[in-house]
Amino acid sequence: MNTFEVPALIEDELPAIKNEWKYEQALNNVNAAMLGLVRYTKRMISMHDLPAVVKCMRLADKIYEKGNELVKNAVENVFVFAFSGMRNGCNKVEWKVIQARMPMGLYSIYVKQIYRSGI
């Protein structure tokens, strides 16, 4: 999957996401598309819609698994990097539920980021 396919896949899986990004920018920039996915995920967290949050996580994992190197970098550096902010947006019980249902690939990237940062 290349950078131009990511926005279309996100829109197919999450039609409501169009409200989260500047459409033209997201179409031309995989990082902007991933940022839109982060915003949407955070909004679902604020609404306590954990099934939607898990769906976003699975979508990001699918994008990562099928993506080329640029796409993988965007998932790591935009979506996974935002996990700490996502964690802060929910209570401990909600985060435990999200963490338990988080795809293993994303979770391992998150753990590596935490260890690299020394948190």
Q: Which two tokens stand for residue 29?
A: 């920039």
Hey, is 49 helix, strand or coil?
coil
CB 57 within 8 A of CB 101: yes
What would the pLDDT profile of 59-85 be if each residue is shown by its tens digit? 999 999 999 999 999 999 999 999 989
What would the pLDDT profile of 7-57 be if each residue is shown by its tens digit? 889 989 999 887 766 655 656 689 988 998 999 999 999 999 999 999 999
CB 42 within 8 A of CB 75: no
What pLDDT, on the 0 to 100 scale, is given for residue 43? 94
